[in-house]
Every structure is written in structure tokens, then in C-alpha cells.
């Protein structure tokens, strides 16, 4: 156990020397995505093969630097590398080689050719317009600025020793011994760090409000619930660099006078929970949690609470109620969380990414932090990039980066369409169920809190779903409204009943049962819910509907008045017909139709009964003459 600041510095120096002694490092991605693809088996196989070939190999840092072999190889289970669709991933340093889609049978060749002979295995490197052996040369990584994610994929995600070796807990040490509480808060305020959970509230102001509350007990709570569909930014930090986030919580406790911290994680994140438990146990072992940390007057303890996956528990008052063992439901405000939060005590509540920014600001200073991104939204933002785009995964870019840069530079542009060429960009849904869609007209819009708000959207937690011209915007609105309606806690009538009514209308539209006045009713319901819902989640529930009506009203009108889906994706609105000029009357289509919707006479053109047809498309796949097509 480390009892003093001097002991912390000494052990950090030892682990740093041990890390430098590793002349070659192999980082096997042990994020959830790569683990599901078999990365842990690859890790075990590499360790076994190097043992069989008598290659000096270490799986953890040595306590004494002198005990390390002369030319060791360190093999590590790292956090998420970000390029999830190409996993399992293996990064080999110091060469910076990134191997993609690594299989168990590749391990022998990696050890023999790359580890022993320093050769590049060409078939395992990334191939875009050309081959990229070096990770940082791949446009997906080259265009990013990884600050919060800098250690994800670059250190052993399960080791406090490696975190210390790369300067971990130095910011906490500085705050503990060299700064007063007011100075810490002043530095965070000067940095203008805004909460990365979606609201963008200034972190320094929140901390200051808690510090000045007169209460014997205060709390620091980390929101790791992350309920947006497709979002996994916070999960990746908790899995890949848990100590960075925890260090931020320690600094917050120090600044605000809190001695207890809670991390609220959704139960669907078992890997994150496991890594956090390991990190907390390691901190207790090293004396970085508990009473009188490093011989100071500061005491701090951490607890993990697992949520049941309720989206509404991402809202502050619902989250604290859940930790207390109550049903997770928002309450009327004021009082706010900074005044009466967890157990009715003043509470600092920030999300994972916000806390992970804190050590950087304390170590490098607010002035440095404000050089990144725009003045009103400095720093970087992590996004989960998904949809009809070439490069999907986890990215981090400076605030203010445009949609065009993210989609076409980092994301590699649109995926190939049905004719082989790239699909046409149509829209991007940003901010999940609480966000809105942006279009071609917004491609040069800077992605920061204020610019997006003016455009009728919001960053949210950071989900980016890219859509091409084959995407039905009415269906997108229905999907998000279905999610929001299912996740409504039911406490307030506007959200409970209003979202149900909106969902019913949207479902009718996608089923071809739209009626005159449906668009106006959706707008009226959206306005009522936004104005009267109890919590922020309810107030933003209608945003996807509002933004899709604003930008794609013609699609709503086509569904209502023409009973047609312009994108051709609504199953109930598909119209399949047989081209009589191409049909040879072979009858194969009628034989595979499960509902007997196709009739005709042999050697004459067959016809489809549109009422009976269920649009299963079995006939299209069967026709040898390509005579059966979807109507445009």
C-alpha cells in the first residue's frame, strides 16, 4: 500500500521503466466487440506460442525494472481500438502495425514473421483505397484526435500498473498536494468543459454549486448508463481505461468535499462492471481509495450500482432514485441534483466521458484544453459511428468538426449501393432518441453544442447513425418513437400517453393507413409533449419526428396520400409488379408464392394480385427473366 506521495512517485517510475523495457508490445483488443469475435483465444494462443518458442514474454509489468528481460515482448489485453467492424484487432508497437480480422490460425505466422523477423503480413493489414500497414496512417485513425480514448487500445485495460506507467494518477496527485478545492474548480471552469452526457452544462459551474452547499455529506456520481441505441462510447472507456474515469471522480470529490462516489452502470455492460471492479480492488491495494489517501486528509470510497437497463435512468433524478433502491423515475425540480441529489445530499453527477477529461485538464491546464475545438465547446467528443458508412466504430474528434469530415474523411464515405457504386448520403441521426436528423444541407455544420442546438439537433451522448437514400425517414421516426415509448417511465401523462399516440400514427403511416391531418396531429402532439413533459427525456422525445417532418415532409405526404414509400423500405407499402414485356409465362413465380397471389396462363404474362401479395419477394428471386420488379 502506498502511504505517501513519494511512494507513489517511486512506484510510478518503476513501472514506467518496466514498460520501457518491453521492446515490443502486442495489444490484443479485449473490448466487447472483439471478444465476441474470439480475441481472448488469440491472446492465449500468442502467449502459448511465444512460450513454446522461448521468446521472452511478459503479460504484466515487473515490480523491479532490473527483473525484466533484456528484449522482452509484452502481450496485453487492451481496451477497444475503435475499428470494431474489422476485429479481432492486434496492434504491434513500436512499429505501429495494425492487423485486422485476425484468426486463431494466424497466430503462428504473427509470432514467426512479425515478432521474430519484423516482417509485415500483408494480408492482415487494412485495405481501403490502398494498403495501410501502420495504424496511424489509416484515414480512420489519422483524422482523429484521441484524448479521452488515447489509452484505449494502448495499455493493458486490466492493469493499474500500466496506468501508473503512463502517468496515471499524476493529475490526482497534483490536485491533492498542490491545489486547493477552489483552484481545482477554477481550472475546470476556465477550461469550459461542458458535460458530455448530452446537456452540455458547464462542469465547473456544477462542481462549484455542490462545493458551496452546506452539508456534512456530499456525493460524486458517474452516469455510465448510456441507454441510447447504438451508443458505446462510455462503455469503451469503462472497459479500456477505467482508471482515467475514476481519477476524474477522485478529483471531483476532492474539489467538492465529497467522500463517497457511485458508478451507475447498466447491467448489459458486464465487461465494464468487471473491469471497474478490478480497478477499484487494485486502487484499494495501492492505497488510492479509502481513508487518508497517500497520507492526506482526503478520504474517498467508490461503489458500483448496476441498473436494469431503463433508458429513463440516464436522467439525473431517476438515476439517483435507482441507486437508492427506488423505482427509477424523474422528480419535479427544483431542488436540483446539486442541492438534493443522492440520498437528498448535494451531488456532482457527470457522465463517464466528462470525468475522463478531468485528469487531462488538471495535468495540462485549461489554456491547453481551450486550444482544441471552438471557444464555447472546447475539447474533443467521442462518437459511435454506425449506419450506411464504410468505416463504423468508435471515434474521437475535436468539437466543431463538421459532419462532412466525420462521414467522408474518418468514416470513409457511404457504403456501396445496390448497383455497386457508393450510396447517396441522405441524413444522419445524431443524439439518439433525444436528437434529430441532419441532411445534406448540414454537412458543413460544426458539431458542437451551440451549432447543433441552432440546427434543431443535439449531440446527446454521441450516437451518429448515417443513412443513405434507401432509408425511409418515416420508419426512422417510428423506430425512435417506439424506443422512447417503450422506455417511458409512465410518471407523466404527456410522455406516457403522448408518445403512444405519436407511435400509433407513425405505425399507420408505415402500414399504408395514413390519413389527412396526420402530420398536423404529430406536430401538435410533439409541441404538447415538449412543453409539458416532466423530465428532459420526455421533452426531447419528439425531436426525431419533428426533424424528419421538417426535412422530409414529402416522404410523410407520399405515405399518406400516395400510399407509397419513396425509399422502398416500408414492407407494407411495397408494390411488386410483373413486366408483361419480359414475362415468358413460365409459372415459376406462381409456384413459389406462399399466398397464391400470382396467377396466369402458361406462356402468357402472369399478374400479381396487390391485395393478396405480402411482399415477401420470393417471386423476384425466382424469376429467371428479371420480369418481376418493385414499382418505383
Q: What is the pLDDT of residue 64?
A: 57
Task: Report if residue 622 sits inside a domain.
Answer: yes
**Gyration radius of the chain's alpha carbons:** 27
Q: What is the pLDDT of residue 418?
A: 62
pLDDT in tens, 559-590: 999 888 998 888 888 888 899 999 999 999 99
Q: What is the pLDDT of residue 380?
A: 96
Whether 184 and 77 map to the same domain: the answer is no
Q: What is the pTM of this model?
A: 0.91
Whether 347 and 442 map to the same domain: the answer is no
Whether 337 and 473 map to the same domain: the answer is no
Query: Which one, of 286, 293, 287, lies nearest residue 251 by Cα?
Result: 293
Can you tell me the distance from the alpha carbon of 525 to that of 629, in angstroms, rounded to the nearest whole number? 38
Identify the segments of the chain with pLDDT beneath 70.
63-71, 417-422, 632
Whether 342 and 210 map to the same domain: the answer is yes
Task: Report if residue 539 sits inside a domain.
Answer: yes
Q: What is the pLDDT of residue 194?
A: 95
Give yes or no for a contact between 521 and 527, defined as CB atoms under 8 angstroms apart.
no
Can you give the CATH number for the domain in which 595 is found? 3.30.70.20
Q: What distances in angstroms separate CA 98 from CA 87, 125, 157, 383, 603, one per listed residue?
A: 11, 6, 18, 21, 59
Can you give the CATH number for the domain in which 256 is found? 3.40.50.11540
Structural domain of 110: 9-139
Among the candidates 561, 591, 621, a domain finishes at 561
Query: Which one, of 374, 393, 391, 375, lies nearest residue 383 by Cα?
Result: 393
598-599/607-608 β-pairing: antiparallel
Query: Which one, of 234, 383, 386, lies nearest residue 307 by Cα?
Result: 234
Query: Which one, of 236, 192, 225, lies nearest residue 320 by Cα?
Result: 225
Whether 552 and 623 map to the same domain: the answer is no
DSSP string covering 188-251: HHHHT-B-TTTT--BHHHHHHHHHTS--S--EEEEEE---STT--HHHHHHHH-HHHHHHHHHH
126-127/131-132 β-pairing: antiparallel
Task: Report if residue 374 sits inside a domain.
Answer: no
For 105-110, which contacts have Cβ atoms below 8 Å and span 24 or more sequence positions? 106/42, 107/42, 107/45, 107/46, 107/49, 108/49, 110/46
Neighbour-count burial for 70-101, b at 16+ CB within 10 Å, e otherwise:
eebbbbbbbbbbbbbebbbbbbbbeeebbbbe
Can you give the CATH number for the domain in which 71 is found? 3.40.30.10
Whether 387 and 315 map to the same domain: the answer is no
DSSP string covering 105-140: GGHHHIIIIIIIT----GGGSEESSSEE-BGGGSHH
Task: Report if residue 181 sits inside a domain.
Answer: yes
Whether 389 and 331 map to the same domain: the answer is no
Which residues are CB-neighbours of 107 under 8 A, at least 6 positions away? Answer: 42, 45, 46, 49
Neighbour-count burial for 531-556, b at 16+ CB within 10 Å, e otherwise:
eebbbbbbbbbbbbbbbbbebbeebb
Largest distance between two CA atoms of the chain = 93
Can you tell me the distance from the alpha carbon of 582 to that of 472, in angstroms, rounded to the nearest whole number? 30
Q: What distances in angstroms separate CA 455 from CA 50, 405, 543, 547, one per listed residue?
A: 55, 18, 12, 9
- Coil/strand/helix, residue 569: coil
Among the candidates 561, 587, 621, a domain finishes at 561
Whether 421 and 363 map to the same domain: the answer is no
- Total tally of structural domains belonging to the chain: 4
Among the candidates 512, 539, 561, a domain finishes at 561
Task: Report if residue 1 sits inside a domain.
Answer: no
Whether 415 and 364 map to the same domain: the answer is no
For 40-45, which contacts have Cβ atoms below 8 Å and span 24 or more sequence positions? 40/77, 41/104, 42/88, 42/90, 42/102, 42/103, 42/104, 42/106, 42/107, 43/75, 43/77, 45/104, 45/107
Task: Report if residue 467 sits inside a domain.
Answer: yes
* Chain CA centroid to CA 123, Å: 29
Q: What distances in angstroms separate CA 145 from CA 150, 364, 397, one per listed residue?
A: 9, 16, 5
Whether 187 and 109 map to the same domain: the answer is no
Can you give the CATH number for the domain in which 479 is found? 3.10.20.600
- Which cell goes with 201? 452544462
Q: What is the pLDDT of residue 70?
A: 56
- Which cell goes with 607? 399478374
Neighbour-count burial for 403-413, b at 16+ CB within 10 Å, e otherwise:
bebbbbbbbbe
Whether 364 and 391 map to the same domain: the answer is no
Taking the CA of residue 610 as centre, how many other CA atoms within 13 Å lie in the half-sphere pointing to its CB?
12
Task: Report if residue 26 sits inside a domain.
Answer: yes
Task: Report if residue 150 sits inside a domain.
Answer: no
Can you tell me the distance from the alpha carbon of 427 to that of 429, in angstroms, rounded to the nearest whole number? 7
Whether 50 and 103 map to the same domain: the answer is yes
Amino acid at each position: 500500500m502506498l502511504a505517501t506521495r513519494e511512494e507513489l512517485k517511486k512506484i510510478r517510475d518503476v513501472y514506467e521503466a518496466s514498460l520501457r523495457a518491453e521492446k515490443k508490445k502486442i495489444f490484443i483488443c479485449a473490448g466487447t466487440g472483439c471478444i465476441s469475435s474470439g480475441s481472448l483465444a488469440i491472446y492465449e494462443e500468442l502467449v502459448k506460442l511465444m512460450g513454446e518458442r522461448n521468446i521472452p514474454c511478459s503479460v504484466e509489468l515487473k515490480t523491479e525494472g532490473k527483473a525484466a528481460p533484456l528484449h522482452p515482448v509484452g502481450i496485453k489485453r487492451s481496451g477497444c481500438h475503435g475499428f470494431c467492424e474489422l476485429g479481432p484487432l492486434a496492434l504491434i508497437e513500436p512499429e505501429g502495425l495494425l492487423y485486422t480480422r485476425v484468426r486463431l490460425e494466424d497466430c503462428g505466422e504473427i509470432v514467426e514473421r512479425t515478432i521474430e523477423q519484423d516482417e509485415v503480413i500483408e494480408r492482415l493489414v487494412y485495405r481501403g483505397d490502398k494498403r495501410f500497414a501502420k495504424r496511424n496512417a489509416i484515414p480512420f485513425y489519422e483524422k482523429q484526435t484521441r484524448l479521452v480514448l488515447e489509452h484505449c487500445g494502448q495499455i493493458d485495460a486490466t492493469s493499474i500498473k500500466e496506468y501508473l506507467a503512463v502517468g496515471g494518477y499524476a493529475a490526482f496527485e497534483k490536485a491533492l498536494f498542490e491545489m486547493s478545492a477552489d483552484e481545482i474548480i477554477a481550472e475546470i471552469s476556465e477550461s469550459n468543459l461542458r458535460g458530455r452526457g448530452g446537456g452540455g452544462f458547464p462542469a465547473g459551474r456544477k462542481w462549484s454549486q455542490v462545493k458551496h452547499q452546506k452539508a456534512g455529506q456530499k456525493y460524486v456520481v458517474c452516469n455510465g448508463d448510456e441507454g441510447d441505441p447504438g451508443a458505446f462510447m462510455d462503455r469503451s472507456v469503462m472497459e479500456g481505461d477505467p482508471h482515467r474515469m475514476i481519477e476524474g471522480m477522485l478529483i471531483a470529490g476532492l474539489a467538492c468535499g465529497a467522500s463517497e462516489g457511485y458508478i451507475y452502470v447498466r447491467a448489459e455492460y458486464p465487461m465494464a462492471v468487471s473491469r471497474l471492479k478490478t480497478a477499484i480492488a487494485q486502487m484499494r491495494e495501492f492505497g488510492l481509495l479509502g481513508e487518508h489517501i497517500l497520507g492526506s486528509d482526503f478520504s474517498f470510497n467508490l461503489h458500483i450500482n448496476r441498473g436494469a437497463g431503463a433508458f429513463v435512468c440516464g436522467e439525473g433524478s431517476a438515476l439517483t432514485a435507482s441507486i437508492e433502491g427506488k423505482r427509477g423515475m424523474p422528480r419535479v425540480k427544483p431542488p436540483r441534483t446539486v442541492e438534493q441529489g443522492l440520498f437528498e445530499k448535494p451531488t456532482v453527477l457527470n457522465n463517464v466521458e466528462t470525468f475522463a477529461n478531468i485528469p487531462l485538464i488538471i495535468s495540462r491546464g485549461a489554456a491547453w484544453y481551450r486550444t482544441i475545438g471552438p471557444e464555447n465547446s472546447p475539447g474533443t467528443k467521442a462518437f459511435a459511428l454506425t449506419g450506411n458508412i464504410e468505416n463504423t466504430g468508435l471515434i474521437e474528434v475535436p468539437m466543431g468538426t463538421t459532419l462532412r469530415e466525420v462521414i467522408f474523411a474518418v468514416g470513409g464515405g457511404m457504403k456501396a449501393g445496390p448497383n455497386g457504386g457508393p450510396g447517396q448520403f441522405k441524413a444522419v441521426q445524431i443524439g439518439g432518441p433525444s436528437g434529430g436528423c441532419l441532411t445534406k444541407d448540414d454537412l458543413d455544420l460544426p458539431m458542437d453544442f451551440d451549432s447543433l442546438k441552432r440546427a434543431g439537433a443535439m449531440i446527446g451522448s454521441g450516437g451518429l447513425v448515417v443513412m443513405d437514400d434507401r432509408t425511409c425517414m418515416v420508419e426512422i421516426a417510428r423506430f425512435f418513437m417506439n424506443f422512447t415509448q417503450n422506455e417511458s417511465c409512465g410518471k407523466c401523462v404527456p410522455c406516457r400517453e403522448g408518445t403512444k399516440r405519436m407511435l400509433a400514427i407513425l405505425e399507420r403511416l408505415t402500414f399504408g393507413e395514413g390519413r389527412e391531418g396526420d402530420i398536423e396531429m404529430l406536430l401538435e402532439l410533439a409541441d404538447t409533449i415538449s412543453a409539458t413533459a416532466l423530465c428532459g427525456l420526455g421533452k426531447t422525445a419528439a425531436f426525431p419526428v419533428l426533424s424528419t417532418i421538417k426535412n422530409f415532409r414529402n416522404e410523410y405526404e407520399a405515405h399518406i396520400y400516395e400510399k407509397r414509400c419513396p425509399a422502398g423500405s416500408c414492407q407494407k407499402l411495397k408494390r411488386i409488379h410483373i413486366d408483361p414485356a419480359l414475362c415468358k409465362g413460365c409459372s415459376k413465380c406462381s409456384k413459389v408464392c406462399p399466398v397464391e397471389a400470382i396467377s396466369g396462363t402458361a406462356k402468357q404474362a402472369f399478374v400479381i394480385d396487390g391485395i393478396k401479395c405480402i411482399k415477401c419477394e420470393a417471386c423476384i428471386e425466382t424469376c429467371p427473366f428479371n420480369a418481376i420488379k418493385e414499382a418505383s
